[in-house]
A and B are shown apart, each in its own frame.
Chain A
Amino acid sequence: MNDPYQVLGVPETATDEEVKRAYRELARKYHPDNYHDNPLADLAQEKMKEINAAYEQITKMRSGGSHGSTSGYGGYGSGYGGASGYGGYQGSARQYGGSSSSVLQQVRIAINTGDLTRAEALLANYSDHNAEWNFLRGAVCYRRGWMDEARRYYQTACQMDPGNPEYRRALEFMENGTRTAYSPNGTPFGTDVCVGNPCLTLCCLYSLCNGGGYLLCC
């Protein structure tokens, strides 16, 4: 295993408080809530495990190997693998029970295993475009990065079955989800919530171009 201090990005001389702060920042970054249905969620999960193990190891080392002082730990790691995501299809067999047909159950499994081509083929051959079909179609779109279509399918699913919390959560995430996305130091995340002087960004790297640069530069 890697050096736990290196994993958390703090020196060995860091205080307990500094270690805890570094851990919390990383846990916020790789938290499953920040990787909802993300095609790279498995990599984030690995990171989260590594961070949890590093934090646990440091707290153990600092308490002389006893388990007594891990009170600051928890809350993040324990949530992993749980049903914290809005996408019910990624959960266990318990959630497949919500499917109205065995084909749609297979779609959920295909999405869960990352086989989007299969999920799409199954959906294309399924003639009853009910609320669940629209919800699953939205989930496939989201994973493919077709964000506008995902939102539209989720909207349709919600219109067809307004009482379904799974569909409602998915739509809510599409409409507001990025507002709670991780960003360093908690700076606002979003095009319409960003504040500041646009000139800050748009100032030309005049010095880089060294006099206007080449034809397509700037």
Chain B
Amino acid sequence: MYGYVRPPLGILKEEETERFRRMYCGLCHTLGRRYGLASRFILNYDFTYLAILLSDREEGERDSGRCPMSPIRSKPFLRGTDALALAADESVILAYWQLRDGVADHDWLHGLPYRSLSAVLEPAYRKAVSFRPAFDAAARQQLALLRELEEARCPSLDQAADAFAALLGAAAGEVVDPVQQRVLGQLLYHLGRWVYLVDAADDLKKDAASGGYNPVALRYGLSDGVWTPESRQAFAVTLDHSVHMMTTAFELWDFGVWRPVLEATFYTGLFHVGKAVLDGTYRSIRRGREKELQE
């Protein structure tokens, strides 16, 4: 996905941040164990959230160990569980199709990094498909649909977002408990819708310059990539309805120890990211941050 969903660190207690980190590291170790070292490069916050949503209420047992990113200091991480395995499998499938999408989106030269990475991930992808054929079928179908809609320059914001949202919603398909499946299906659908729309909003200027397909620009007639007050307000409302659907679903399942980080993310984090994207400050904040990291 796109990295728009992230924990609001400023309002989270340190123990919750640490818990999130243990899940992040746990997913990374599970990826390594199931799919080999090369698969670990796909790790990101989005997949960590997927793992949290699919997880048990309790945190589960911990291991401690070194890894390529922490070769000296041993760090605690969550031991592999069924939920982590499911999240790892689905993450590999999603990451692979995202890379293939990148190949299709670019010319030969610019598609080279995507092609190389998808080739690296190919063996892991094949293995993941053997575990989760239904999810792979859903991913293929929805991404093909999304591509068709993009090529046809679909003017309906909801229809374009639906293709991506339904793909993420399908990640709940492997959940056994029927109530949990309904709740997660709804939550993930709207998380996917929100991510797709925020990403399109974030790309407004870039797409206006390149002439690339942008459902938000088409819907509101923003040919120069600049919001009008009315369109901005209408768009914020449609995002908020999706966040509302997420929070109402979230409250109907007991997420146990993961509740604080999820609650902070859904009730606060998403609004902050959405507002920064609409204000046009999201990219500069991220760029500034990356610069800081490099220094």
Contact = CB atoms under 8 A, between A and B. Distances in A.
Interface of A: 29-30, 34-35, 38-40, 43-44, 47, 141, 144-149, 151, 174-175, 177-178, 181-184, 187, 189-192, 194, 196-218
Interface string B42-55: 11110000000000
Interface of B: 3, 6-11, 17, 20-21, 24, 28, 40-45, 69-70, 75, 95, 117, 156-159, 162, 165, 179, 182-183, 186, 189-190, 193, 219, 232-234, 236-245, 247-249, 251-252, 263, 267-269, 271-276, 278-279, 281-282, 285-286, 289-290, 293
Given A47-B252, A201-B269, A214-B69, A151 B182 contact: no
A189 B237 CA distance: 11
B41 A198 contact: no
A198 B276 contact: yes
Nearest to B157: A148
Given A200-B9, A204-B293, A214-B69, 18 more contacts: A40-B182, A43-B182, A151-B234, A174-B237, A181-B240, A189-B240, A194-B275, A198-B272, A198-B279, A199-B10, A201-B276, A205-B17, A208-B21, A210-B69, A215-B41, A216-B41, A217-B43, A218-B44
Contacts, number: 183
Contacts of A30: 251
Contacts of A146: 158-159, 162
B42 A214 contact: yes
B78 to A, nearest CB: 13
Nearest to A209: B69
A40 B248 contact: yes
Contacts of B281: 198
Contacts of B21: 205, 207-208
A192 B278 contact: yes
A147 B281 CA distance: 25
A191 B189 CA distance: 19
Contacts of A215: 41, 117
28 contacts: A40-B183, A47-B251, A146-B162, A147-B238, A148-B157, A183-B247, A184-B263, A187-B267, A190-B236, A191-B243, A192-B232, A192-B278, A194-B272, A194-B275, A200-B272, A201-B8, A201-B268, A202-B272, A202-B276, A202-B286, A204-B293, A205-B9, A205-B17, A206-B293, A208-B17, A213-B69, A214-B41, A216-B95
Contacts of B251: 29-30, 44, 47, 182
B199 to A, nearest CB: 15
A194 to B, nearest CB: 4
Given A202-B282, A207-B21, A214 B40 contact: yes
A41 B190 CA distance: 16
A175 to B, nearest CB: 6
B6 A182 contact: no
Contact of B272 (A145, A196, A205, A217): A196
A144 B17 CA distance: 34
Contact of B274 (A147, A191, A200): A191
A205 B234 CA distance: 32
A201 B237 contact: no
B271 A194 contact: yes
Q: Which 6 A-B pairs have the closest CB atoms?
A: A200-B10, A201-B272, A146-B158, A194-B271, A191-B274, A147-B241
